[in-house]
A and B are shown apart, each in its own frame.
Chain A
């Protein structure tokens, strides 16, 4: 028998609760950090930036700039990245009917990592002759290419019945191949190891408003498409065959979700690096809280994902200031033990 865990709070309450959690995380993230205004001046300072509101927070010009140009883009970007990774993770878990799947599964991470490594190794990252920063571009393109290879390979050999399992396996193969190439390049160029690793482990420390502007269009399109599929993800829960007999076009749905999820993930990864575990931890947390229907899970993962990464970014800023703890390390540190707990509780509830 399965205990009815989800009824601890009435379901309709989870949405406002999630909004409050995001709001608190946002405020908290804006208040904490080296330099900048004292924490109690932050709310006033933020209000002052809203149109038609004038508040004298008493913060100096410099403090205000630190808050608005350094801390805020970082908090906002953390929120966007966390929301996107969690949403893509939940959608992929639904479409592949596998709770261990994350948004990096089909090779986005490996491809983006290789793209970034190539740029850093060839020294293009430092050159200012390019109109745009080549690092995120290479990561973005690398991520998309890797998934394209995975999908082509996975669907070429898999029959329609097994294609979701074949696709997952193809993702594993492509990822290990790409990672091998990347490792080889690193081994040949040990002088850039530190630089590459700081990218791989995730970095929100260099976030600017232009990063936010860069990823926002992709994230909006991608999350829009994914959220619109929340009902169909529920239909897919009964398996490919039955979903098809209920009139769902399974292959097309899977392709659409893979494209949308990959686009969004590749975009955020290109500016934030590879932040791990968010895409698994947050959807499972939401599932434990609010039940298993994707109609409830997907909107909630967006909010809780944003809150999770904003909060996970805080220890990195204050723990080992000034040399920051990479956020990928923090999320894995929080994520791995949590994941074990989730697995244990799942084992306890399955019949």
Chain B
């Protein structure tokens, strides 16, 4: 179990600023969901924690700065699942999950038998045995998404960053993928930070939401507090009605702005 803290984190690409002094502490085992319109800085924030973009301020894991660690050590702490992962068509599923062991293999080393057995266990845990020797090009979207999660799991990092983990999936596979992440989180005590577009799903699975707008964090807290019709209309420019179910689920339903003729 590890905590992830963002202290005054800013990310800019040349002159365009993507994130402006973001502050947050994600507690061990917590699931924080970043929401906000396209270009709000969600991905940039995740990429900063994964060491993929330069940033100012600091990102701390359990209180120690991430950028002082070696690339391999950082990868053993933080697993990043990109929005559209590159999946070479002719790589086998097993080879793909095995890539997750890279942080534990020396520069000139090879994976040990333990590494391979670990990957085998991950594949079994996610019910991927039937595809293990198949090529990635032959797999469906849902199977691919599970493989990417399997790779992150093989990385054995206590912190998991998921960038739009459900974009390419139908509603059933969206639910499957998120429940998988949630059950793995409870099993292993992962700390999860995800960026998501579906607000209802975001509220349903995460402990806390942070709403980003033009690089600024404009609201943060549980779904009941953040997902309000007026807030969403202000920052997304969307017309929605927000319903509260009896079990506490917040449902965000889009409304037609042009009435039916």
Among A239, A293, A350, contact of B91 (Cβ-Cβ < 8 Å):
A293
Q: How far is the CA of A228 from the CA of B107 in the complex (A)?
A: 9
Pick out which of these stretches binds chain B: A29-37, A173-181, A245-253, A257-265.
A245-253
B75 touches A245 (CB 8 A): yes
Q: Are B100 and A293 in contact (CB under 8 A)?
A: no
Q: Does B175 contact A (CB under 8 A)?
A: no
Closest chain-A Cβ to B141's Cβ sits at a distance in Å of: 13
Bound form: Cα–Cα A1–B85 in Å = 20
What 6 pairs across the A-B complex have the smallest Cβ distances?
Answer: A247-B75, A247-B72, A247-B103, A292-B90, A239-B86, A245-B80
* Chain B residues near A242 (CB-CB < 8 A): 80, 82, 85-86
A247 touches B102 (CB 8 A): yes
Q: Which of B90, B95, B105, B155 has the most CB of A within 10 A?
A: B90
Q: Report whether A237 and B76 are in contact in the complex, using a CB–CB cutoff of 8 Å.
A: no
User: Is A4 interfacial (CB 8 A cutoff)?
Assistant: yes
Interface flags, B47-86, vs A, CB<8A=1, else 0: 0001110000000000000000011111110111010011
Instruction: Give the chain A neighbours of B230 by CB distance below 8 A.
Output: none
Q: Which residues of A contact B225 (CB under 8 A)?
A: none
Interface size on B, residues (CB 8 A): 37
Give Cα A334 to B24, complex, Å: 62
Q: A234-B99, A244-B52, A247-B74 are in contact. List 13 more A-B contacts (CB 8 A).
A: A2-B89, A4-B135, A231-B109, A231-B110, A238-B88, A242-B80, A245-B50, A245-B51, A245-B80, A246-B99, A246-B100, A247-B71, A292-B88
**Nearest CB in chain A: distance from B155 CB, A:** 7
A2–B88 CB distance below 8 A:
no
CA distance A2 to B91 in the complex (A): 11
List, in ascending order, chain B residues with CB within 8 A of A247's CB. Answer: 70-76, 102-103
- A234 x B111 contact (CB < 8 A): no
A2, A238, A239: the one within 8 Å of B90 (CB): A2
B110 touches A351 (CB 8 A): no
1/0 per residue A1-32: CB within 8 Å of B?
11010000000000000000000000000000
Q: Which of A229, A238, A244 contacts B51 (CB 8 A)?
A: A244
Q: Whole-angstrom distance between the alpha carbons of A316 and B48 in the complex?
A: 58
Residues of B in contact with A (beta carbons under 8 Å apart): 50-52, 70-76, 78-80, 82, 85-91, 95-96, 99-100, 102-103, 105, 107-111, 135, 137-138, 155
> Distance in Å from the Cβ of B63 to the closest Cβ of chain A?
21
Given A238-B85, A238-B86, A242-B85, verify A231-B111 contact (CB < 8 Å). Answer: yes
Q: Whole-angstrom distance between the alpha carbons of A116 and B19 in the complex?
A: 54
| The one of B71, B79, B85, B95 that contacts A249, using a Cβ cutoff of 8 Å | B71
Q: Bound complex: CA of A232 vs CA of B110, how far in Å?
A: 9
Complex contacts, B155 vs chain A, CB 8 Å: 246
CB distance from A310 to the nearest CB of B (A): 29
The answer to whether A237 touches B50, judged by C-beta atoms less than 8 angstroms apart, is no
Q: In the complex, are the beta carbons of B71 and A248 less than 8 A apart?
A: yes
Q: Which of A218-246 contact B (CB under 8 A)?
A: 228-229, 231-232, 234-235, 237-239, 241-246
Q: Which residues of B contact A293 (CB under 8 A)?
A: 91, 95
Kindly list chain B residues whose C-beta atoms are within 8 Å of the C-beta of A234: 91, 95, 99
Chain A residues near B51: list those with CB within 8 A. 244-245
Nearest A-chain residue to B101, judged by Cβ: A246
Cβ–Cβ contact B90 & A248, under 8 A: no
Q: Which of A77-96 contact B (CB under 8 A)?
A: none
7 CB contacts below 8 A, A to B, read: A2-B90, A231-B111, A241-B82, A242-B82, A246-B75, A249-B71, A291-B90
Are A244 and B86 closer than 8 Å at their CB atoms?
A: no
Q: How far is the CA of A283 from the CA of B91 in the complex (A)?
A: 16
Tell me whether B102 and A248 are in contact (CB under 8 A): yes
Report A-chain residues with C-beta under 8 Å of the C-beta of B95.
234, 293
A residues in contact with B110, CB < 8 Å: 231
User: Contacts A1-B138, A238-B86, A293-B95: A231 and B105 contacting too (C-beta < 8 A)?
Assistant: yes
* CA gap between A249 and B103 in the complex, in Å: 11
A30-87: which have CB < 8 Å to B?
none
Chain A residues contacting B70 (CB-CB under 8 Å) are 247
Q: A94 CB to closest chain B CB, in angstroms?
A: 11
Considering only CB atoms, which chain B residue lies closest to A238 in the complex? Answer: B86
Highest count of chain B CB atoms <10 Å: which of A4, A231, A243, A245: A245
Choose among A228, A243, A244, A247 the residue with the greatest number of B CB atoms under 10 Å from its CB.
A247
How distant is B37 from chain A, measured CB to nearest CB, in Å?
A: 23
Q: Chain A: which residue is nearest B103 at the CB level?
A: A247
Query: Known contacts A2-B89, A2-B90, A249-B71; is A238 also within 8 Å of B99 by CB?
Result: yes
Residues of chain B contacted by A249 (CB below 8 angstroms): 71
Give the distance in Å from the alpha carbon of A228 to the alpha carbon of B71 in the complex. 19
A residues near B78, Cβ cutoff 8 Å: 245
Bound-complex Cα distance A229 to B138 (A):
28
A351 near B86: Cβ-Cβ < 8 Å = no
